[in-house]
A and B are shown apart, each in its own frame.
Chain A
């Protein structure tokens, strides 16, 4: 279209069933739209996003020779791509489309104000038409996508995502902060409802991930910095000083010797003893350690915070292996990837802060994770279930569900359901009854949420096995100082009276929360969080694996509480979504770039430090200093354009004349904005 062509705008108003039409007058808005300058056709339809709705746009472009399209419907965050496609199918440049959000930001929020909503919709259409009249043809910019991906967090979700990506032929960096991959699942004994041994089903995945030729394990490594955008993320990793070298690292470091083979001689001689975090602090660990017996990679790690640098480990390791370096320092490394999947997992809340349940005050009050370690054959007791105070076999065990979940009292408590505690507590009850004949579990619950496949059946099974269920939120747990038995006090809401049950052991099904560094990682990758701190998905229903930042995807509990099957399913979804741009090889970026209007640019250079991406620079051109934009670096935020004192920076698709026309259209009733 020639630049001097007069605006010919078509306005299309969507009923969205009764979503919009039930709260404001479509007819009135349409009649009003016809009176606006530049509008040559206005129409309405039940569902503009349907095929007949879109055909209306396509046909109208041809019939009325339109050069601007306005759809008044839902949010551009939902349907802008749909209508841009229709605009383009009608033969117009797809950026000649503007949306008026009369649903999410009008009919849904002014449901009982017909006149107010109708007036607002008219204004919204007028504002959109004002912009549509000034829209221009733009060309999306294609950028190449690096044929590599990164997965942050190597729990079961991260490993699954990495395996799927690698099996699809994509080089994948699997980054893990701990010295081993495996994550939370490696701490569990059995998994519900099938009672599979957790390690037995996890270790094959760990081995696959460790041996896959296209997966590069980056254990004991943190993300330090993130630059770039979809297709071209440049990520700096901090490889934390591990104190030992494996074979390839020996060669890279130019050291003589074979490197760490995991023999464990060093740990035997190490004199420093610390609590083992893998065993929830219930077993000792040396300063040189492997995280647990099935680690991947099998390589010892020195905890430099507790190491006294006595050198005994180095001595016993000997010159043949020569694996230990007590003076090792962190190393930074840069990798380039096309897409990233975050799978950072969760922690338990500090349940000791809910003092009414006495965790850390009474010895025989433990968390569900501690229970997992105590009953696990590879745990500190070799799988013999004991209670901490005296090592006796517990015969009456109370399980406190919703310990900090579904709790609006504030503090460390969480309003949400942590989703897997009901099921693992049922499993714990089963394990007790199976291992200890005569052991009586009591489950104190609000509701049993057994929502998954075969979960309800598992619940019935545990009921039939003899577990007692008491419906009531536990008010208090008190210890008998002599016997160390714990009394669980609650109101049985089904009987309508208070009950107190003396237990040998109490297990708290503590709520879960995001990892402490989840916030730092989120800000580095530029994604949003939900109100409760979990990472925010792009759409709760239709894009649960994506984020609003292109090229960043989510898997597992970091996006919200979920159990293992849901985590694995989401990981596979995220891997599939991440592989799409990588396999396509290029992505199209919206061309919202800054441009320098050289006639207006005074060459002051004040815009240069405004740009967070260093996309701007001052150059000499025709004997005059002007600003130059590197389009590949510009992300189109417009911070420079909002700052330039001379108005010399033009933000494509968000130009100052366009925005001023919108302001004028609203406040001056469409009289302004004429160019």
Chain B
């Protein structure tokens, strides 16, 4: 596939209360962003098992985004904080297995930050495009 036609496969796991609502708000405001990200809704980013991240990369994801509430705003008090700690760990794991840790991103987007969600989408797609296809995919083929 030609370099410029390549579209990254990015999966986003986002919390119901802040980031999912923020993404809906972006829709209401018709904020336009690239269509390369698919979102999976969980109630809280605390639900994000490191296994899900590994599974996604193993399946050939070029990037993974986890997005939750701002610190102090978590609907369940501190799930986002606990998730952030796990993501920190996972970034180290990715580095150790030879993946660029910028392929995994955690962001905090509140229910009122529709425009920010648009920026996050743009930015994640741009970052992953610059990194190119996941090396795990190339090895598979």
Contacts and interface: CB of A to CB of B under 8 A. Distances in A.
Is A bound to B?
Answer: yes
Given A612-B76, A642-B48, A668-B59, 6 more contacts: A106-B27, A109-B26, A109-B33, A531-B113, A667-B60, A672-B59
Interface string A648-675: 0001001010011011101110001000
Interface stretch (B36-44, B91-99, B100-108): B36-44
Contacts of B113: 531
24 contacts: A75-B27, A77-B20, A77-B21, A101-B24, A106-B35, A109-B31, A109-B121, A111-B32, A523-B72, A526-B74, A526-B77, A528-B110, A638-B47, A639-B78, A639-B83, A641-B49, A651-B47, A656-B49, A659-B13, A659-B42, A663-B52, A663-B55, A664-B59, A666-B11
B24 A667 contact: no
A34 interface: no
A529 B112 contact: yes
Nearest to A107: B27
A186 interface: no
A105 B25 CA distance: 9
Interface in A62-106: 75-78, 101, 103-106
Contact of B44 (A113, A639, A663): A639
B124 interface: no
Contact of B18 (A104, A528, A656): A528
B40 A116 contact: no
A638 B47 CA distance: 4
Contacts of A660: 51-52, 55
A639 B110 contact: no
A79 to B, nearest CB: 12
A349 B59 CA distance: 52
B24 A105 contact: yes
B46 A639 contact: yes
Interface in B1-34: 9, 11, 13, 16-18, 20-21, 23-24, 26-28, 30-34
B82 interface: yes
A116 B35 contact: yes
Interface stretch (A119-127, A162-170, A295-303, A621-629): A119-127
Interface of A: 75-78, 101, 103-106, 108-113, 116-117, 119-120, 123-124, 127, 523, 526, 528-531, 536, 548-549, 592, 610, 612-613, 635-639, 641-643, 647, 651, 654, 656, 659-660, 662-664, 666-668, 672
A592 B16 CA distance: 13
Interface of B: 9, 11, 13, 16-18, 20-21, 23-24, 26-28, 30-36, 38-44, 46-52, 55-56, 59-61, 69, 72-79, 82-83, 86, 110-113, 118, 121
B49 to A, nearest CB: 5
A642 B43 contact: no
Nearest to B64: A663
A523 B31 CA distance: 28
Contact of B28 (A108, A530, A667): A108
A166 B76 CA distance: 31
A662 B40 contact: yes
Contacts of A110: 32-35
Contact of A667 (B17, B39, B59): B59
Contacts of A672: 59
A108 B27 contact: yes
A661 to B, nearest CB: 10
A656 B44 CA distance: 14
A672 B24 CA distance: 28
A105 B23 contact: yes
Contacts, number: 169
A561 B41 CA distance: 33
B118 to A, nearest CB: 7
Contacts of B46: 610, 637-639, 642-643
B128 to A, nearest CB: 14
A104 B27 contact: yes
Contacts of A109: 26-27, 30-33, 35, 118, 121
Contact of B59 (A112, A548, A663): A663
A71 B110 CA distance: 26
Contacts of B69: 528
Nearest to A127: B38
Closest 6 CB pairs of A and B: A639-B46, A638-B47, A104-B27, A637-B76, A667-B59, A116-B35
Contacts of B55: 660, 663-664
Contact of A549 (B50, B51, B75, B82): B75
Contacts of B35: 106, 109-110, 113, 116-117, 119-120
Contacts of A643: 46, 49, 82, 86
Contacts of A112: 32
A639 B78 CA distance: 9
